[in-house]
């Protein structure tokens, strides 16, 4: 592999610049650059508040309304916006607000599709956190809703907005590492969240019925409320929370849609009698074109952390959120490459550079103005979530899950 007439660093910068130019080069039609876009936030929990902080860094953006079912999260969200912004515990009130042009959805997973469909019906553009869907059956409905509404939908798989990951895609598609036959992914953590402990949530401060939504009726449980990702009614465990990020990258880089089949295993090693979803999992996904993808994840040990590797016949590309490496196979004439963009150990959850979160939100806002398709469109969100759901189906049935 050669990078003619430019250094490795300049190639990386050029890749990111070209991506941004392709998105922001068009003149806005719906919203001129000097017109403020007013955003409503549905679900102002911890993750959404991170997004809100990044959103306020973008020029001519105003958060005009905030909604959450919990008084505490609503109050915390209110602190991040101007005093004139409205607050409500009823999402339909926010969607009925004619001053709101676009909506950021940071709710639990089981509300992503219902809220996205409702927002589209209200004529709003949408940024929705991953995974887009909560089960395989939701994909068709949300795709149809977006096609009918013709609004911009960006899914929160922010790796697509990171220049070094776009660079990896370009290298793979240009055949620089040979044919990719295997992808290795991991997302490992070590945390106290595997234990039950008092959280001090006042049941009276929560609209529990709305939180539960279409899930089965159940009594208030503060642990489930604050750790919903690990309960099947509200989330999908490690596969939908973490693996979906890397599967989305793999789909994008390799230009594939969904797996043919999945084989999964999972155990409760550190969260036994606490989580419904396993705390330690593995899955093998097979794809058309002779591609295997393997993912491992655990909450018992952070070794290897968050990373993805593309194993080609000529070289391997290693990626995390802050670095890229190209490692040639022995006796292959491939130029090695290592670029470290952000400070921190390999495989960290977050890096200071690149700020993928801000870049991804900027891409969404640019597309709201230009009416172009964003870098993480709705179809890609359905695709990556579907791979995670197929892995969960194999896990829960104990059988090979086949794409139908």
The confidence band for 15, taking pLDDT boundaries of 50, 70 and 90, is: very low
pTM (predicted TM-score): 0.92
Q: Which fold has domain 24-159?
A: Rossmann fold (3.40.50)
Orientation angle between helical segments 378-397 and 139-149, nearest 10 degrees? 170
Taken in order 74, 79, 80, 81, the sign of the CA dihedral is positive
What is the overall mean pLDDT for the chain? 93
Which is more confidently placed, 20 or 95?
95
φ, ψ of residue 73 to 5 degrees: the values are -65, -35
* 5: confidence class by pLDDT, cuts 50, 70, 90: very low
Average pLDDT of 373-386? 99
pLDDT of residue 31: 72
Q: Inform me whether the pLDDT recorded for 263 exceeds 90.
A: yes
Same fold, 24-159 and 162-348+377-402: no
Distance CA 393, CA 296 (A): 16
pLDDT of residue 30: 60
Query: How much is the average pLDDT of 98-106?
Result: 98
Q: Which of 19, 66, 13, 25 is nearest to 44 (CA)?
A: 66
pLDDT (tens digit per residue) in 301-312: 999 899 999 999
Q: Predicted confidence band at 193 (pLDDT cuts at 50, 70, 90)?
A: confident
Give yes or no for residue 32 having a pLDDT over 90.
Answer: no
Domain boundaries, the chain: 24-159, 162-348+377-402
Span 140-189, pLDDT tens digits: 999 999 999 999 999 999 999 999 999 999 999 999 999 999 999 999 99
Residue 24: what pLDDT? Answer: 36
What CATH fold (topology level) applies to the domain 162-348+377-402?
Dihydrodipicolinate Reductase; domain 2 (3.30.360)
Given a cut of 60, whether residue 53 has pLDDT beyond it is yes
Considering the chain, what percentage of its residues have pLDDT values greater than 90?
A: 87
């Amino acid at each position: 592999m050669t990078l003619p007439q430019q250094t490795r660093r300049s190639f990386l910068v050029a890749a990111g610049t070209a991506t941004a130019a392709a998105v922001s080069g068009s003149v806005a039609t719906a919203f001129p650059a000097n017109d403020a876009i007013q955003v409503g936030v549905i679900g102002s929990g911890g993750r959404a508040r991170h997004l809100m902080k990044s959103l306020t860094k973008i020029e001519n953006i105003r958060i005009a309304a905030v909604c959450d079912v919990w008084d505490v999260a609503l109050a915390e969200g209110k602190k991040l916006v101007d005093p004139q912004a409205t607050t409500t515990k009823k999402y339909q009130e926010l969607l009925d607000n004619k001053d709101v042009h676009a909506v950021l959805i940071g709710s639990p997973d089981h509300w992503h599709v219902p809220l996205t469909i409702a927002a589209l019906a209200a004529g709003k553009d949408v940024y929705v956190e991953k995974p887009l869907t909560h089960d395989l059956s939701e994909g068709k409905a949300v795709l149809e809703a977006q096609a009918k509404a013709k609004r911009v939908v960006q899914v929160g798989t922010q790796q697509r907005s990171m220049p070094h990951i776009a660079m990896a895609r370009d290298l793979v598609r240009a055949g620089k590492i040979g044919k990719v036959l295997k992808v290795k992914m991991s997302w490992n953590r070590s945390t106290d969240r595997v234990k039950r402990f008092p959280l001090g949530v006042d049941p009276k401060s929560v609209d529990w019925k709305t939180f539960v939504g279409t899930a089965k009726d159940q009594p208030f449980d503060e642990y489930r409320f604050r750790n919903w990702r690990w309960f099947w009614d509200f989330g999908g465990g490690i596969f939908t929370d973490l693996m979906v990020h890397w599967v989305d990258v793999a789909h994008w880089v390799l230009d594939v849609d969904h797996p043919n089949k999945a084989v999964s295993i999972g155990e409760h090693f550190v969260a036994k009698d606490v989580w419904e979803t396993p705390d330690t999992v593995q899955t093998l996904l097979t794809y058309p074109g002779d591609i295997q993808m393997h993912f491992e994840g655990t909450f018992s040990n952070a070794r290897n952390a968050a990373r993805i590797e593309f194993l080609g016949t000529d070289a391997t590309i290693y990626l995390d959120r802050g670095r890229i490496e190209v490692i040639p196979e022995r006796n292959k004439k491939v130029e090695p490459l290592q670029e470290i963009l952000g400070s921190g150990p390999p495989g960290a959850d977050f890096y200071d550079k690149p700020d993928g979160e801000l870049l991804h939100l900027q891409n969404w806002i640019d597309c709201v103005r230009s009416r172009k398709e964003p870098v993480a469109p709705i179809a890609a969100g359905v695709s990556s979530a579907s791979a995670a759901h197929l892995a969960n189906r194999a896990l829960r049935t104990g059988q090979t899950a086949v794409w139908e």
